[in-house]
Structure 1
């Protein structure tokens, strides 16, 4: 029997859409979802949706402060099932952070069990931990049952969730927030609540106050882990005014004296969000790599409090300099950024300043106050309506009882007889018999009187903006009193100080262990260092077609100066040069030396000398060594030359006479005072030529005579009497230099 053929399906209608348009539409939807519902906090309550849902879920579970703890698994399950369908781990991670007192300045969750630690250890799984809300969370939720905020349907439409919390606590700035959205991010460090409340009260009195004026109260961030902020007041003011900036935060340390003059540095506070275990590992790693020559050892003696002990290499070490080297290389100094990018009214992402940020919170408090007052007003009016019905019943009790006993439908009869409302009639019919005693009538009249007085006050409040702000001010003062500077939680933890000034050379020297080395450079520009001061380097191997140019002694902390034919000076750190194994590396790996430029001289920078530098055209000048130091790989232009003219000679200024010798083997001697001292330029003519070029220069004491080295490295000299025939003036052509090397080089080098 053959298979029955199914009727062919009609092809679905196909719509052609441009790929670009489809991608733009979908990516924009994703971006908006990330910005609005995940990454950026609301300026009003300072919470992201996941945190808001966690707190509301805990509220429904009645986990108020002081109540028994409930399993975190129960909280996570309820929040995920009712409000946040994005995975249990995401919810639990957010809840854990709210409970960590080293991450949150004012924790919103009171955790019981292992919620992680400052070392970076993970918390226990949610089946092992328990939680409830803190007093701070209670303040954020206070009024949510009194129509204080708007509600919306949850993700499946089965229940309602708050759009924003009443936010009776300045959570946005107090606890801060971190988040990365699409095309924008937020980074808000925590602050001190008492200071924020003082600034908010000033803002209530003077609504037009600028962010800068609020810095009288808000000094800067207040991190849960303490530390010291070392930024200037000007940069802090700039950050809070624009809503963008950063804070340099350092660990807090003290020096503890030991026996026989020994001492150690003890670190008691580390920067916010720095994992202590990773910090100790980094210091130990730097010690092994010999990048902390002033530090002898590090050990972690922390219990509940942080206690990192740093031992110096010796008693002679400067503790401040040792700590400076640690601050520069480790997370003991951390830069914490400020990017006040928040959702205004829950809808508009915007970077705001301190004043606007607090203004959003205060405006929200006023909105919540008005909503709660209207809710209470409605409640009172409904209760007064019922009390009115009760009083009519008491005054006509016999008639009421008769109607109820005799009428088949007593409700319409009561309404008609006493002109009652439906609500009043229902209330009378639902009264208990024991409520008919005489004492109850007196209590009802008292309640009616009190409620009318309260209603009068609420109507006055709703009709007066000044009264509303006064009420908001009272609320802010209560928060300030709860978390005042004298309370354990409210006391400021982060201090402020100016960064200590140290000699830059001393700091850089502190990063490298000081050891003697020999710097070797080949003719083709390959450089390397040998350990120790090696006198005999004849056995060194070089690449094919390459050989030794020269070698000199230095230390690992030394700086080198390289003078090139392009007239530039370059700076190099000996510590960064390759070791003695192999042939080294091209010196061009460490500096941006042009391909057509070559090395004239390489020597140790000592900082207090003067040099005579000259070009092949015979022009030159005297320059201070400090003016030759470069801070970049590109070098520093000192002698101005244009090809084919190039820098060709350098000599240390030690004496009163200059010797200049050309490629024509002519030499001239003239007084050093005829050569100007400059920081940069072409210089003046030292020797005159017709077709030759300058070969070398030397500066010496004329009375002591001129010394040089021959091709074999032997030292030769000529006395002042023998040199008298070559004496002249700057820019003279000179005379043939009998007795001097045929290479036309003095080979004196930089001394």
Structure 2
């Protein structure tokens, strides 16, 4: 190859651009995201339309499929739209066309459909070859004056045609019909509103640019859904209008009717927006069959073309309030999450009500200005022609003679221009005039038209020269739209009077919750167990079946949330009242009927908490000595199937759980009587899937028995209870703070007499205890019945357990939970004498 000829390989190499793959991926993703955001998923604030909606309406406009024309096959409209403007597939276009025709989806439908366009039951529309459509009259208002250079146009996808970037929009369609869509990393969900209310608010803002959201809400009461129903409360509406985001509760419209034989029935006549009626009826039926809703004898959907009618018949003697509110809780009320996100100057923005209307007014100001300029130019052109005609009429004989003596049309035009100073356009028009237009009657008509055109020019000049006049035109046109299309609200706004939930019908009281190793669980009122003196045998608290043993007893309020931790490191959540209330001698109900436990999964620890405050943690200890802290917020939303609380090593299990605030000390106690105390900060916060860190260095065959979190309040002591019913109190000040993962200090002497440690608690002098044995005996006693002694002692008998039985669980009852208890209560209780200390 000649040296003067470049090597093709070198040429190709020089054409390659080296880029970092991270930069290329980032830029490509941003380009894709912006394409979706601006080109498909989000509406423009000016006309409230996404590109596909805008293109369908413009294609129908170009096809002449107006509200006054006959219907056209939907397939024809879809084909025109896809072929000329929207190359994204016919199904996406037809689905959009269908929605614009559904009166239960659009507050003011933009398409007039003929045929099957779907239903509230979720039935799909018929195929596009069967249905027909045309523009509705109100959608024509969105395209009004589009041919008068009111908006910008851009080339379509193949540069053959021009399409509008936005429609003139004679009314604020973004608020009137709302919008919803999911883009990349963002979404919009704008509810529909009443046309008249939105127009009144727009006029208010034009008259008073300083109007606040509160002022505008004097007109816009709230969203107005096509399906009616009720919005509960006004605070959420205000929040949505003020910030652009909010959560609005929408409740079905229903009434309770007296029925035959003294029975009642609930009749639902309006459903929340976007509810699937058939699925809703099906889910109610499922809940009735599964026992989730009691008191319903029959359920029917009697809806027809005139509206919704769902009849729910109640059993004789059923509590109507309970049934009604269970239906509200699970079926007849839903939340509409408002995200008022739209494209403003090509950028997505979350807008308040005022900002939305301001952007619309700015758009209409530009539309009216450009329309006025277009009309002014047309009027001036017409006035110019009319002036020429009037001159020609005044000099009719001479003009006719001049034209007749000219050799050609071109000569005639030139002669006219020279003789009368006509422009080219005037001369062209006069040459084309018919002789009949020279009559006196025609002359009068020309003069009248000229006067009208001059008046129009003056009007248009006044609009363009005066902001006040321009805004007055906008307001007049908005009032005309309201008069033509305005209607009454469909959605009512009701105050939140509160509902009688199932929880409201449960008395709020302190109860004992008992659980066995085989996961039988029940609750019993705490007042069934009077305090006894130390060392009593107690009374029967549960009749456990053969081979089963009590594992846990604790105090809770019926309205408290319980976090149930299992041996497999998972956590479940339930309300205390969801645990069945049973008598002292009852065995309880299997927990698998309450919690969705996996096979072989047992509950080993329970935390009683309503909600976690800022900075609170769930702190866990395992049998193998691990300790772990996890932020409380990670346990706020627990699925019915549970979530992972800790990643346990094989053979380990959770033994105790405490809620801590980040500033406390942790005390870990072992079955062999050792304790270690260290600062909570020594255990860093970690995620739910972590195993944790070493908390205590265990001796051979020892295991963790319990965990205590303390801030060492005045007089607080560490209570230790062993399996054989012995216990003692020792001031927490005697347990010095050490570093995590030490051997700790001796807390209690354990041996054959008192047995291994069962539980440890941080207690105050005026607290009470509840202790339960494995065989179901339960004792409630005062803490001050137990002597305060030093470490390294055996303790005293706090519960008299029989041979073969053992203390299974201990819980602390703060004085605030029970009120003051007479110190001499049950003074004559059977308290065996024994050695106080050893």
Say yes or no: TM over 0.5.
yes
Q: Is the 8 A contact 1:563 1:599 kept in 2?
A: no
Q: Is the 8 A contact 1:195 1:218 kept in 2?
A: yes
Q: Is the 8 A contact 2:254 2:270 kept in 1?
A: yes
Change (3 A) 1:185 1:398: same
Superposition map of 1:205-216 within 5 A: 205-216=207-218
Q: Does 1:270 align with 2:271?
A: yes
Q: Is the 8 A contact 2:149 2:374 kept in 1?
A: yes
Q: Distance in 2 between matches of 1:438 and 1:396?
A: 13
Query: Which residue of structure 2 lines up, in the alignment, with residue 574 of structure 1?
Result: 579
Task: Provide the aligned length of Structure 1 versus Structure 2.
Answer: 625
Q: Secondary structure at the match of 1:208?
A: coil
Shift of 1:182: 1.6
Q: Distance in 2 between matches of 1:562 and 1:492?
A: 43
The farther-off stretch of 584-593 and 98-107 is: 584-593
Query: Which residue of structure 1 lines up, in the alignment, with residue 237 of structure 2?
Result: 236
Q: Secondary structure at the match of 2:519?
A: strand
Superposition map of 1:426-437 within 5 A: 426-437=428-439
Aligned residue among 528, 538, 548 for 2:520: 528
Aligned residue among 192, 196, 216 for 2:198: 196
Q: Secondary structure at the match of 1:46?
A: coil
Query: Which residue of structure 1 lines up, in the alignment, with residue 338 of structure 2?
Result: 338
Q: Is the 8 A contact 1:45 1:166 kept in 2?
A: yes
Q: Distance in 2 between matches of 1:562 and 1:69?
A: 61
Q: Does 1:477 align with 2:479?
A: yes
After superposition, the C-alpha distances for 1:125-161 in whole angstroms (9 at most, x for unaligned) are 1110011111210111111122222222222221211
Query: Which residue of structure 1 lines up, in the alignment, with residue 139 of structure 2?
Result: 137
Shift of 1:287: 2.2
Shift of 1:348: 2.4
Shift of 1:675: 5.9
Q: Distance in 2 between matches of 1:563 and 1:169?
A: 56
Q: Distance in 1 between matches of 2:835 and 2:574?
A: 31
Shift of 1:428: 0.8
Change (3 A) 1:649 1:297: farther
Q: Secondary structure at the match of 2:382?
A: helix
Q: Secondary structure at the match of 1:238?
A: helix
Shift of 1:402: 2.5
The farther-off stretch of 155-164 and 109-118 is: 155-164
Q: Distance in 2 between matches of 1:562 and 1:158?
A: 65
Query: Which residue of structure 2 lines up, in the alignment, with residue 387 of structure 1?
Result: 386
Query: Which residue of structure 2 lines up, in the alignment, with residue 514 of structure 1?
Result: none
Query: Which residue of structure 1 lines up, in the alignment, with residue 405 of structure 2?
Result: 406
Shift of 1:688: 4.1
After superposition, the C-alpha distances for 1:525-548 in whole angstroms (9 at most, x for unaligned) are 441369xxx9997865x5xxxx43
Q: Is the 8 A contact 1:223 1:494 kept in 2?
A: no
Query: Which residue of structure 2 lines up, in the alignment, with residue 123 of structure 1?
Result: 125
Query: Which residue of structure 2 lines up, in the alignment, with residue 495 of structure 1?
Result: 493
Q: Distance in 1 between matches of 2:383 and 2:44?
A: 38
Query: Which residue of structure 1 lines up, in the alignment, with residue 183 of structure 2?
Result: 181
Q: Secondary structure at the match of 1:350?
A: strand
Query: Which residue of structure 1 lines up, in the alignment, with residue 372 of structure 2?
Result: 373
Q: Secondary structure at the match of 2:88?
A: coil
Change (3 A) 1:636 1:369: farther
Query: Which residue of structure 1 lines up, in the alignment, with residue 290 of structure 2?
Result: 289
Q: Distance in 2 between matches of 1:184 and 1:738?
A: 69
Q: Is the 8 A contact 2:322 2:501 kept in 1?
A: no
Shift of 1:317: 2.9
Q: Is the 8 A contact 1:519 1:527 kept in 2?
A: no
- Which consecutive residues of structure 2, in runs of 5 or more, have no partner in the other structure? 1-6, 523-539, 566-572, 581-589, 608-617, 624-653, 658-671, 674-705, 724-748, 755-763, 770-781, 806-821
Shift of 1:460: 1.3
Shift of 1:301: 1.6
Q: Is the 8 A contact 1:411 1:425 kept in 2?
A: yes
Q: Distance in 1 between matches of 2:788 and 2:309?
A: 72
Q: Is the 8 A contact 1:151 1:161 kept in 2?
A: yes
Query: Which residue of structure 1 lines up, in the alignment, with residue 358 of structure 2?
Result: 359
Query: Which residue of structure 1 lines up, in the alignment, with residue 248 of structure 2?
Result: 247
Query: Which residue of structure 2 lines up, in the alignment, with residue 51 of structure 1?
Result: 53
Query: Which residue of structure 1 lines up, in the alignment, with residue 427 of structure 2?
Result: 425
The farther-off stretch of 636-645 and 299-308 is: 636-645
Query: Which residue of structure 2 lines up, in the alignment, with residue 87 of structure 1?
Result: 89
What RMSD in Å do the two structures reach over aligned CA positions? Answer: 4.3
Q: Distance in 2 between matches of 1:18 and 1:407?
A: 78
Q: Is the 8 A contact 2:151 2:167 kept in 1?
A: yes
Change (3 A) 1:288 1:158: same
Q: Distance in 2 between matches of 1:226 and 1:491?
A: 8
Shift of 1:570: 10
Q: Is the 8 A contact 2:390 2:443 kept in 1?
A: yes
Query: Which residue of structure 2 lines up, in the alignment, with residue 692 of structure 1?
Result: 793
Change (3 A) 1:333 1:558: closer
Q: Distance in 2 between matches of 1:586 and 1:476?
A: 67
Shift of 1:508: 7.2
- TM, length-normalised to structure 2: 0.67
Q: Is the 8 A contact 1:528 1:579 kept in 2?
A: no
Q: Is the 8 A contact 1:292 1:325 kept in 2?
A: yes
Change (3 A) 1:579 1:107: closer
Query: Which residue of structure 1 lines up, in the alignment, with residue 766 of structure 2?
Result: 676
Change (3 A) 1:501 1:594: farther
Q: Distance in 2 between matches of 1:87 and 1:410?
A: 58
Shift of 1:423: 0.1
Shift of 1:207: 0.4
Q: Distance in 1 between matches of 2:319 and 2:550?
A: 40
Query: Which residue of structure 1 lines up, in the alignment, with residue 159 of structure 2?
Result: 157
Query: Which residue of structure 1 lines up, in the alignment, with residue 280 of structure 2?
Result: 279
Q: Does 1:588 align with 2:590?
A: no
Q: Is the 8 A contact 2:325 2:501 kept in 1?
A: no
Change (3 A) 1:709 1:678: closer
Query: Which residue of structure 2 lines up, in the alignment, with residue 609 of structure 1?
Result: none
Change (3 A) 1:118 1:742: farther
Shift of 1:433: 3.1
Q: Distance in 1 between matches of 2:398 and 2:606?
A: 108
Q: Distance in 2 between matches of 1:187 and 1:169?
A: 19
Query: Which residue of structure 2 lines up, in the alignment, with residue 34 of structure 1?
Result: 36
Q: Distance in 2 between matches of 1:636 and 1:397?
A: 114
Q: Distance in 2 between matches of 1:399 and 1:423?
A: 19
Aligned residue among 107, 110, 113 for 1:108: 110
Change (3 A) 1:432 1:527: same
After superposition, the C-alpha distances for 1:24-44 in whole angstroms (9 at most, x for unaligned) are 222121111111111111111
- TM, length-normalised to structure 1: 0.74
